[in-house]
Every structure is written in structure tokens, then in C-alpha cells.
Chain A
Amino acid sequence: MKRLLPLLTGLVLLLSACGREDLSTLNPQGPVAEKQLDLMKLSIGIMALVVVVVFAICIYVLIRFRRRSGDKSIPKQVEGNHTLEIIWTVIPLVLLLILGVPTIKDVFGLAKDYSKDKNAVQVRVTAHQYWWEFEYTGYGIKTAQELVVPTDKTISFELVGADVKHSFWIPAIGGKMDTNPGVTNRMYLEFPKEGVFRGKCAELCGPSHALMDFKAKAVSPASFDRWVAAMKAPAVMPADAEIAEKFTSQCLTCHAVGENGGNSAPNLTGVGSRQTIGGILYNDTTSVEKNIHDWVTDPQKYKSGAMMPKAVENDLTQEQVSAIAKYLAEYKLDY
């Protein structure tokens, strides 16, 4: 009975919640994750049957055939039983067939290549230690940390790792594919419902692997078009000339806004309207401005091993950090 205790605890927890709608694989928000959950349910069903049979025989045997004290009798020495042995070879084979057929169907179904599909949105994902770069090859725009997608189209991903191996995973939408340095992988996902979904890195990639989160934001087709247009619009630079110069010399060597800047760090175009800073500092609980300020002051405090230098090492004064944070927080896209 005691071994059932954790089982029951688990079941209670499971029944009470299938986890967050934007995160759990048990709460699918797209057709890919739905297919995967169907397969999971089928396999869990078959396997639960096996577990129940084994447990039942096990418990029965342990109670029925336990040795009574003083029992010196020798049980009948049975060598085996061909009928039984054939039964427990054939039944598992049948069960596996039931699971094997949809497995093969989905293996090929989910491997469908949309990279030449005119209707699909092409996104090139580049995983860096510890951030995500999203390049919309069809639109010529780049963003980071927040993947924005329309609800009406299939998204065809091309995945690659910039440094070490990472793995691209949006549990509620479907998963997952490794980003290998030097090899391009492909997968597709669909986001039929509007909302923000949590994405994660699933392959150990260094000290801040645990914090390499990103967001996938699914928006209506019209909104997506507005977003694309806003991303392509000329970059808004800081109004104050001194700050603008500082921002260009200290930030845009790696980061970019619009057409200005480098691409070795996350693109900051419209960063003020993102859900998080650095993938983990949520802007709904703390203001964007404060989050950016905290992050710029000491990035390693939030993600150890992050490449970005601390503000003091980057020749930025407190006032300049505040001004840049204010500028970036106000740099929002209207879509």
C-alpha cells in the first residue's frame, strides 16, 4: 500500500492542474503539441494497462504465496509453461503495434518541410549562450527573445546554434528541436490561439542554461502585419544627442535597433513592448524601465556567464544607464 502513496499524491496533483496554459505539454495550445499529447495519452493508456496487470499479479502472489511460519514444505518445481510464455510474448507485440503505427505516422507527419512553402512564415532561429535570435528571412527583420508569429500561418523554423548546442522548446505549442552548431535543423509549429507562450532551452549549454527562456507571442494576422511594418520602420534613437552618442558607441557595437548596430547581441528594436527583459525579468510585475536598468547595471547578477559587460565596465555612469533604460523602455512598437 505504501508504494501507492506517492502515486496517489502525483495523481491528485495531476488532476488539480495540468500545469500552466502557456507552458505545460499537458495543456496543448497548438496542433503539434495536440498530436504529441494524443500519442502520449495512447502510450500512457497502454502502459497503464501493463502496470495494472503486473501490479495485480504481484500483489496477489505476495499475499497468496507468502511463507507461513514453520512451513517446511517444498513447492512444486515448475520448469515453465509454453502457453503462458507465448501469451506474454504475443500480447506485448500487439500492444506495441498499436503504439507503433501512430508513432511512425507522426514521425513523418511532424517532419513535414515547409521551408519552400510560400504561405509559411520562415524563421531562422539562432541560439546563443544564453539568448535567442529570430530572423524572419522572408521579411528581412531580426528580433530577439520574443518570437512574434501570426495565428493564421504555419511557422517554418530553421534552427542553428551559434556557439554550443541548445534546444528550442515551446512546450505548450510543440517540441522540440536541437540547435546544433554547424548543422541546420528544420521543424514547423502552428500557433492557432493568440497568447504568449513560454519557450525554453532544453539542452545543457552552460551556467545560465536554466535561465535561457524566451517568449512566443501569437498575434492576429493584422497585428502581425503591423508588427512587421513597425520593425521595418526607421529606428528611433534617443532624443538627447549625448545619450544617443553614448548609446551608439557603448551599446550598438553589439546590439542593434532597426538598421543601426551590430548583431552579436540581442536586437533591441521595440524592446519596451516585450514581455520580459533577458527572458526572465518579467515586465508585468516590475516596470520595464527598472528591469532594463537592473539588467544593464549588472547582467551577470541575473545570468551568470552572460557576455554583456557591467555598466561600470562599459564606461556608463548611473545617469547614462537611467537615461538609456528610460529610452529603451519607451521604445515600444504599436501593433
Chain B
Amino acid sequence: MAAHGHTVKRYTGLMDWLTTVDHKKIGILYMIAGLFFFLIGGLEAVVIRVQLMKPMNDVVSSDTFNELITMHGTTMIFLAAMPLLFALMNAVIPLQIGARDVAFPFLNSLGFWTFFFGGVLLNLSWFAGTVPDAGWTSYVPLAGPTYNSGHGVDYYVIGLQIAGIGTLLGGINFMATIINMRAPGLSFMRLPMFTWTIFITSALIVFAFPALTVGLVALMFDRLFHANFFEVANGGNEVLWEHIFWVFGHPEVYILIVPAFGVISEVVSTFSRKRLFGYSSMVFATVLIAFLGFMVWAHHMFTTGLGPVANGLFSIATMLIAVPTGVKIFNWLFTLWGGSIRFTTASLFAIGFIPTFVMGGVTGVMLASAPADYQYHDTYFVVAHFHYVIVGGLIFGIFSGLHYWWPKMFGRMLNETLGKITFWTFFIGFHLTFFIQHFLGLLGMPRRVYTYLDGQGFNNMNFISTIGAFLMGIGTIAFLLNIFITWSKPRNAAADAWEDGRSLEWSIPSPPPEYNFKQTPLVRGYDAWWKEKMEGKTAMTPAEPVGSIHMPSPSILPLIMSLGLFIAGFGFMYDRLIVGGLGLLITFACMILRSLYDDHGFHIEPEDQDEGVHA
């Protein structure tokens, strides 16, 4: 035993999952929660499409419809897409940089639980019977106290505020992790592309989410305490909310899509057995996209009446983003060029991503032209555009990433036949649903309409679109089936599960042991593991001798802290200040406990390291 050995704390069963600070397990928790919310959001989408299947349909009332679109958008962006990205980040980033965990494991757990309780709070609105209904953008005055007197938007404001804490913590954590915890030799310009994109996304989160926090606080004060930030009658300004929301909202779009760029880069490179074409220009292009992402928020407001100077500037700034994005597209194509392309489910999603995302990108440039946008704005053309980028871009990326890293996360390969069924139904369903919506918009159909009159030429296209939505649903079910079927299979995935792995995560067992790397690896170049393999090695060169490994202790505190915020949220919402205070007290008590009570973690000694201490 090493001299400074502490008691090994370990829980089993459910308690293990509730207390874990292991990034791999937190990644799995994020994935389960993200998929759960993805299903809820998807179900909402199907009901929306069924309602719009024929003119003057009455499957749901107009009130319910507005609740559905609001919750669909909010759920998909904040509670499905973000956590699924966090799942991949957690599962992969420490492995890709040769680290044993993230920089702040406790914060990581806290981030998950705040996100989870925020999401649960938001969705409990369905049971409370007052659901947010002002759109995911929650424009005031429609979302303000005068025109929205129920508790619906309170759920939105407080749910997102709590979930937002989790995202912000995650962003800070991964920035710190990538800056500080890289293995020896792993310089920034040797980082795998996925790690680069997560680094950039984390930076975007750190700069963009505070704007949302401020906006939500202001809206919360308007709603709960009769402040007048946005109340026009009392001297407030509603355009201010639009600015605050989009100063956050546009970078948010890049927070979502940039990690997908990373996934695609990894998958395309692996399955064409080729080094990523133009690595340094890829890095530069991603940084540039992220930077420009902060300069273009007002293109969501071309019709707000900001005047020609603002509209002109934001038009040109927006168009410029097409240049670095184009660089990325061509780099992927030329990574494939001359390669030896293997078609797995993961690579199909990645390859499907490229043309789909290009279509979403070009409509983005079309929207950037302000005078033309006066016609597109708030129509189905916009709905088609952002689904092309978010579903055809981000969700394809997530599916690709999940299929690709599944063996690394769980030690089991997903079934390829079912995977291909997933891909083709989802891919065809997606294009069937959304391609036609461009034309609906051009023919004059505004978005967020719960129904439309007969005889306007919208009927057939809406019907086709709804059929596509069902196909996407079938694709999702096939994916879930795949997960369940794979669960009963033995855990026999190889360390280098796809045989052509290039980065560090493929040099360790699938799934990795609790401590990831028995010895921290020495990185000797870009595509570290590929480089070793090409030189005939079967393992990474270690950068340290075998020794005792320091591990953080599990803790239940993050869960209780988040529960405290959850309780406080309800207390404030329903004007029960005692409950609100009690909730905050729980959270603060946990913070004090955490600060005053030192927990130095424990060590895994070399003799225990081979005993299969698995995650």
C-alpha cells in the first residue's frame, strides 16, 4: 500500500450511478437522459405533424399546438441535443487526450444532475397543466406576465435556468480539462479534431450561456416580481429580449453543430483509413466559425426593423460564415478522396451528413440575404432550413458518433443490419419531411401555425411531410431496438473496435477500466495511435512507470444540490417563498459541506489494477 492511502469508497447498484463522478458513467447517464428527452420531443413532433396532415385538422386544439411546438423546440435543443453531445464529450474526450478523468469530476456530476432536474422540472409542466406556449424563443410580450398569466412560461424560465447551470459547468469543465489534462506530447495542434471542436464548443458555452442566464433572470423578474424589463406599457422594451435571446441563441446553434463537425471528422477519417485532409485549416475554420458566430445574431431579426445599416452588416457577416464552412466540407470530401471507404452505420451517417448539411448551409446563405429574408422569415422555409442543420447536421452527427463510440462506451458492437435500417429510414424520412417544407414556406405558409385553410395549395406537401415524420419515427425505433438487442450480447468488442482507429481511445480496452490509462501514454504525433500501429507497435509508449492511481471519491452531494434547486424553483414559481428558501438552503448546505469537508479520494494500487476494476 502506498503511504497516503485513503479508504476506497465504492457503491454498487443504483447508488453507484447516483453518486458516480466517473466521466464514462456520467456520459452514459447523459446519453440515457438525452435519449429519453429525444423520444419525448420526437413524440411531440409526430403529434405536430399529424395535426398539420390536412387542412383545418382538429387532432389538437390551438392552445395545445402552441404548447407542443414550444416544448418540442425547447426539449430538442436543451434537453436532447445538448445532453447527447455531453454524452459523447464525457465518453470520449478524456480518453482522446490520455487523461484519467475530467479536470473537475465533482462538477461534472453536478452538471449532469442540474441539467436533469431542470429538464424534469420543465416537463412536469405537462402534468401541472400549464405548459410554456410562447415558442422556444419565448418572445415577450407573448411570454410576459400580461399576455401569459399562467405558470407555463415560469416552467420554461426556471427549468432552463437550472438546466443552464449544468451546461455552463460542463463548458468550464471541458475547457479546463482540455487545456490542463492532455497527455505528454499531445500539443494543441496534435489534438484529435473532435477534441478541438469540443474545446471550441466549451468556449462558446462559457461566453454564450451567461447571456441566456441574464435574459432568463430578467424575464423571471418580470413574471414573478413585476419588474418591467420587457413590459412596454411601463417603459420596458420588447426588442431587448430579442437581442438578448439571440446573442445567446445564435452561438447556441454553433455550440450544437461544431461538435458534430468533430464527430464527422473522426468518423470520415477512420472509415476511409486516411488522415484528415487539411487538419490545420480545419482547426482554423472551426475557430473562425465560432468567432463569427458571435457577430451574426441579428440575422434572426431582419424583420424586427433594425434599419438598413444593421441589416446590411449582419447580412454580409452571416454570408462570410459560408467560407470556413465550405472549407470544412471540401476537406471532408478530400479526406474520402483516395481513401478506402468502409460503409458502416457510423460512416453512413457521416457521409449522409455531408450533402445534407450542405443543403442546410446553402439555404442559410439564402436566408442571410436580408431583402430575400423578408420573404422567408418566419415561414416554413426557415423551419426547413434549421431542421436541415440541426437534424441533418447535428442529429446525423450524434447518431454517427453513438454508433462509432458505442463499442468504446459499452464494450459491445451495435448490430449493423439494424443500424443500416436505422440510417435509411431516418435519412429518407428526414428528407421527405423537410425538403418539401422549403416550398411550403415560399408558397406563403407561415411557421408556428396550428392549422391552415383549405385551398391555399398547402395540402399535398403537408401530407407528404407528415409521412416523412413517421419514417423518422421508425428509424428511431430501429435504433432503440438495436440498443436493446445488443444489450443481451456478450461484451466482446476489441480495444480497436473498428480496426482502423487513429486516436488514443482505441488504444485501451473497450470499455476502458475505471482509471482509463494504466500508464499515461506518450504522444508522438497527430493520430497518435495510428502512428504507433503503422510503426508496428501494439501499444502506446508509456510516459510514466506503473504506479498507484489517484481516483476521486463518489459523492451524493451533486444530486442533493440539484434537488435543492429543483425544490427552490417550484417554491418561487408558486409563490411559496418558504419552500423556495428551503430548497436554496439544501443547496447551500451541500456547498458548505463540500467546502469544509476534505475528501482526498483514494488510490488504486498496481496490484489491484489488473483485477478488472471496470467502469
Contact = CB atoms under 8 A, between A and B. Distances in A.
B450 A210 contact: yes
Interface stretch (B98-106, B326-334, B540-548, B602-610): B326-334
A25 B443 contact: yes
Interface in A38-80: 39-40, 43-44, 46-47, 50-51, 54-55, 57-58, 61-62, 65-67, 71, 73-80
Interface in B541-578: none
Interface stretch (B37-45, B358-366, B393-401, B402-410): B358-366
How many residues of B sit at the interface, in one of the four size bands?
A: 35 or more
Contacts of A111: 307-308, 311
A229 interface: no
Contact of A26 (B354, B443, B451): B443
Interface string B143-154: 000010000000
Interface in A164-215: 164-165, 167, 169, 171-172, 174-178, 180-183, 185-186, 198, 200-211, 213
Contacts of B147: 163-164, 206
Interface string B332-358: 011011111111000000011011001
B431 A80 contact: no
B449 A210 contact: yes
A104 B464 contact: no
Contact of B371 (A14, A58, A103): A103
A208 B341 contact: no
Contacts of A172: 444
A89 interface: yes
Given A3-B427, A75-B274, A80-B278, A36 B374 contact: yes
Interface stretch (A92-100, A235-243, A316-324): A92-100
6 contacts: A2-B424, A71-B340, A73-B340, A75-B338, A198-B444, A202-B378
A204 B438 CA distance: 19
B135 interface: yes
A83 to B, nearest CB: 12
Q: Which of B327, B333, B464 has the most CB of A within 10 A?
A: B333
Interface string A227-248: 0000000000000000000000
A180 B336 contact: no
Given A43-B365, A204-B66, 6 more contacts: A3-B352, A67-B340, A85-B278, A107-B308, A178-B305, A181-B238
B139 interface: yes
Contact of B272 (A5, A75, A198): A75
B142 A205 contact: yes
Interface stretch (A16-24, A264-272, A326-334): A16-24
Contact of B142 (A39, A164, A200, A210): A164
B601 interface: no
Nearest to A44: B366
Given A3-B431, A25-B443, A43-B365, A35 B371 contact: yes
Contacts of A93: 323
B337 A176 contact: no
A61 B435 contact: no
A254 B110 CA distance: 55
Interface stretch (B26-34, B454-462, B581-589): B454-462
A47 B312 contact: no
Interface stretch (B9-17, B124-132, B313-321): B313-321
Interface of A: 2-3, 5-7, 9-10, 13-14, 17-20, 23-26, 33, 35-37, 39-40, 43-44, 46-47, 50-51, 54-55, 57-58, 61-62, 65-67, 71, 73-81, 84-85, 88-89, 92-93, 96, 99-100, 103-104, 106-111, 159, 163-165, 167, 169, 171-172, 174-178, 180-183, 185-186, 198, 200-211, 213, 280, 304-305
B315 to A, nearest CB: 5
Given A182-B232, A208-B62, A78 B443 contact: no
B322 interface: yes
B239 A176 contact: no
A23 B456 contact: yes
Given A80-B281, A176-B378, A88 B305 contact: no
B444 A103 contact: no
B277 A201 contact: no
A72 to B, nearest CB: 9
Interface string B451-475: 1110011001100100010000000
Nearest to A74: B273
Given A3-B355, A78-B277, A180-B304, A33 B375 contact: yes
Interface in B406-447: 424, 427-428, 431-432, 435-436, 438-439, 442-444, 446-447
B204 to A, nearest CB: 23
Contacts of B326: 50, 88-89, 92
B374 A176 contact: yes
Contact of B62 (A61, A178, A183, A210): A210
A208 B450 CA distance: 8
Contacts of A164: 139, 141-142, 147
B20 interface: no
B303 interface: yes
B433 to A, nearest CB: 9
B409 to A, nearest CB: 25
Contact of A182 (B134, B238, B341, B451): B238
Contacts of A208: 62
Contacts of A76: 274, 338
A198 B279 CA distance: 52
A187 to B, nearest CB: 8
B474 to A, nearest CB: 15
B83 to A, nearest CB: 26
A10 B365 contact: no
A45 to B, nearest CB: 11
Contacts of A17: 457
Contacts of B272: 65, 75
B369 interface: yes
Contacts of A47: 362-363, 365-366
Contacts of B329: 54
A165 B449 contact: no
B355 A54 contact: yes
Contacts of A39: 369, 371-372
A57 B135 CA distance: 39
Contacts of B365: 43, 46-47, 96, 99
Contacts of B368: 103
B134 A204 contact: yes
Contacts of A96: 319-320, 322-323, 365
Contact of A183 (B239, B281, B379): B239
B337 A51 contact: no
Contact of B141 (A10, A20, A159, A181): A181
Contact of B275 (A66, A78, A106, A200): A78
